[in-house]
């Protein structure tokens, strides 16, 4: 009874009413947000292709199925045809077809079941060889611009061989062709392809090598994903062009080759330049060369005419220079006459100006003689005064000369430190002294020290020394 009451209350609560279109849109948005892109495996059934190019089918297994659609833009990139009963792996977007409310999968890409393992092997080998530097652009060799012989490595029964031969015949019929036949699919095909490439490199019969085959599934092209083929391509001394499968097909051999073409026909177009284009280019070069030659000849002819116009007979040349020489002689004579006349006039004018400005030297000469006499007198007076001053200063200097004092019997006493002793009280008995005379010196020791007046005691000796003999 309580549950019934609750349900009745819930029903009484106003709820929004959703249109079907809104409900389907919300469901689609929720599905696409919850489920990311994923891979789904199953068997193809109920396959149909619309006129628009879209492909509709179901994927089923033993217990369930789901509707799928692959739009035209994706179906065109598939590279192979979907058929009922095929087991595939599809990369899908989980969604809802709003118009009918159908749950469906939008297929972005598809591959045959089991291709995933092959793809992983492909990626592992590609990464390994890339790390070794096998695919570096630095090791790629340029294709020859004008090959004389082209080698082809493919099967003799391959449709790709016919396409390549017809393209080469149409574009460059003069080029030689050497075919190195080999199986291009199946067990052991990779070993034989590598052997054919090595054979072409050893024989050196051609200048460029095309390795090609037509389109197919990844299993059909797997021989070109072999490591031995890739290493043979890189070891080949000839430039190698790969034209394997369709434009969307990539193999290890494509990465190892010096140039990759999207199809075998494109590989043939890369290998040989088109003969018609070469002939047209040659004709254009010939026309341009002829125009340049004609232009050069015209310019040289015009220059020759100009030189011929400048060229004169020797007599005319000498006559013209003779007239010029005579005219120069006349001009020189006239110029010399005018210059000499002008120089004579200038000299006369300068002479007159010099005579007018010539000074009277008699009076300055007398004044100069008087100054010279005065200078001699003043010099004699100055010299005599200077001599007297010099004698006076010399006498005063002689009185102050210590050597002159020593000649009169005086001496100089110094202590052990070399200081002059001026009083006896600074000496002590036994102290070493030095006595300097006018001639020589003695080392002595102090016996006694007296503070009596030395001058008074030594006066008789000084008087005796000062008296003349």
User: Tokens representing 376?
Assistant: 């001699």
| Rounded Cα–Cα distance for residues 154 and 134 (Å) | 23
**Per-residue confidence (pLDDT) for residue 5, from 0 to 100:** 44
Residues 181 and 239 placed together within one structural domain of the fold: yes
Tell me which of 247, 277, 307 is where a domain ends.
Answer: 277
Strand-by-strand arrangement of the 412-414 sheet? 412-414, 432-436, 441-445
Find the length of the chain. 469
Confirm whether 380 is domain-assigned. no
Q: What are phi and psi of 101, to 5 degrees?
A: 70, 25
Confirm whether 65 is domain-assigned. yes
Q: pLDDT tens across 376-432, in order?
A: 888 888 888 889 888 888 877 877 777 777 777 788 889 888 888 888 888 888 888
Domain that holds residue 454: 402-462
User: Tokens representing 191?
Assistant: 């070993």
Please give the DSSP secondary-structure letter assigned to residue 458: T
CATH value at residue 27: 2.40.50.140
Tell me the DSSP string of 301-351.
Answer: HHHHHHHHHH---HHHHHHHHHHHHHHHHHHHHHHHHHHHHHHHHHHHHHH
**Per-residue confidence (pLDDT) for residue 6, from 0 to 100:** 45
Query: pLDDT below 50 — which residues of the chain?
Result: 1-6, 8-9, 469
User: Tokens representing 97?
Assistant: 């077809």
Residues 138 and 197 placed together within one structural domain of the fold: yes
| Rounded Cα–Cα distance for residues 118 and 124 (Å) | 10
User: Tokens representing 430?
Assistant: 């036994």
**Per-residue confidence (pLDDT) for residue 237, from 0 to 100:** 92
**Per-residue confidence (pLDDT) for residue 469, from 0 to 100:** 47
| Rounded Cα–Cα distance for residues 303 and 311 (Å) | 12
Contact 113, 284 (CB under 8 A): no
| Rounded Cα–Cα distance for residues 61 and 367 (Å) | 151
CATH value at residue 212: 3.40.50.280
Helix, coil or strand: residue 296: helix
Residues 164 and 217 placed together within one structural domain of the fold: yes
Residues 181 and 271 placed together within one structural domain of the fold: yes
Strands 259-260 and 240-244: parallel
User: Tokens representing 108?
Assistant: 């972005």
Strands (E) across 230-338 are located at 240-244, 259-260
Helix, coil or strand: residue 60: strand
User: Tokens representing 117?
Assistant: 């393992």
Tell me the DSSP string of 97-145.
Answer: ETTTTEEEEEEEEEEETTHHHHHHHHHHHHHHHHHTTTT-GGGPPPPPS
Handedness of CA 444, 447, 453, 456 (dihedral sign): negative
Contact 168, 271 (CB under 8 A): yes
> What's the pTM?
0.43
Confirm whether 385 is domain-assigned. no
Residues 236 and 91 placed together within one structural domain of the fold: no
Residues 156 and 264 placed together within one structural domain of the fold: yes
Contact 45, 64 (CB under 8 A): no
Taking the alpha carbons at both ends of the chain, their separation in whole angstroms is 178
Residues 237 and 172 placed together within one structural domain of the fold: yes
| Rounded Cα–Cα distance for residues 261 and 269 (Å) | 9
**Per-residue confidence (pLDDT) for residue 394, from 0 to 100:** 81
| Rounded Cα–Cα distance for residues 232 and 237 (Å) | 10
| Rounded Cα–Cα distance for residues 70 and 76 (Å) | 10
Where is 227: in which H helix or E strand?
helix 227-235
| Rounded Cα–Cα distance for residues 298 and 286 (Å) | 18
Q: pLDDT tens across 68-89, in order?
A: 999 988 888 887 788 888 888 8
**Per-residue confidence (pLDDT) for residue 3, from 0 to 100:** 47
CB atoms within 10 A of CB 259: 19
Residue with tokens 């291009």: 184
Q: How many domains does the chain have?
A: 3
């Amino acid at each position: 009874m309580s549950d019934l009451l609750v349900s009745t209350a819930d029903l009484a609560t106003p709820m929004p009413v959703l249109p079907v279109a809104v409900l389907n849109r919300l469901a689609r948005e929720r599905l696409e947000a919850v489920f990311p892109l994923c891979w789904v495996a199953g068997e193809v059934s109920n396959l149909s292709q619309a006129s628009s190019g879209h492909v509709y089918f179901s994927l089923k297994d033993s217990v369930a199925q789901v509707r799928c659609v692959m739009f035209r833009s994706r179906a065109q990139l598939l590279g192979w045809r979907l058929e009922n009963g095929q087991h595939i792996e599809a990369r899908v977007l989980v969604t809802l077809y709003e118009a009918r409310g159908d749950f469906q999968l939008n297929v972005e890409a598809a591959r045959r079941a089991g291709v995933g393992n092959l793809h992983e092997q492909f990626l592992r080998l590609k990464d390994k060889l890339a790390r070794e530097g096998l695919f570096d652009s630095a090791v790629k060799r340029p294709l020859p611009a004008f090959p004389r012989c082209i080698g082809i490595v493919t099967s003799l029964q391959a449709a790709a061989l016919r396409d390549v031969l017809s393209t080469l015949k149409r574009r460059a019929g003069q080029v030689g062709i050497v075919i190195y036949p080999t199986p291009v699919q199946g067990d052991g095909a990779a070993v034989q392809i590598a052997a054919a490439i090595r054979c072409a490199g050893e024989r050196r019969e051609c200048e460029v090598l095309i390795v090609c085959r037509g389109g197919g599934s990844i299993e059909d092209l797997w021989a070109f994903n072999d490591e031995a083929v890739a290493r043979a391509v890189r070891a080949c001394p000839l430039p190698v062009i790969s034209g394997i499968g369709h434009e969307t097909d990539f193999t290890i051999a494509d990465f190892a080759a010096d140039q990759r073409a999207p199809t075998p026909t494109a590989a043939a177009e890369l290998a040989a330049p088109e003969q018609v284009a070469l002939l047209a280019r040659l004709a254009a070069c010939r026309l341009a060369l002829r125009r340049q030659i004609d232009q050069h000849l015209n310019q040289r002819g015009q220059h020759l005419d100009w030189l011929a116009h400048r060229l004169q007979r020797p007599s005319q040349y000498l006559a013209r220079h003779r007239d010029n020489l005579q005219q120069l002689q006349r001009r020189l004579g006239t110029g010399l006459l005018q210059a000499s006349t002008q120089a004579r006039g200038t000299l006369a004018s300068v002479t007159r100006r010099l005579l007018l400005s010539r000074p009277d030297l008699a009076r300055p000469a007398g004044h100069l003689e008087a100054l010279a006499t005065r200078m001699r007198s003043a010099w004699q007076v100055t010299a005599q005064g200077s001599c007297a001053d010099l004698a006076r200063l010399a006498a005063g200097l002689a009185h102050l000369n210590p050597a002159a004092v020593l000649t009169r019997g005086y001496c100089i006493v110094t202590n052990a430190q070399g200081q002059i002793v001026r009083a006896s009280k600074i000496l002590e008995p036994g102290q070493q002294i030095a006595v300097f005379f006018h001639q020589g010196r003695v080392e002595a020791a102090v016996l006694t020290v007296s503070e009596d007046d030395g001058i008074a005691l030594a006066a008789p000796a000084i008087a005796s020394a000062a008296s003349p003999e």
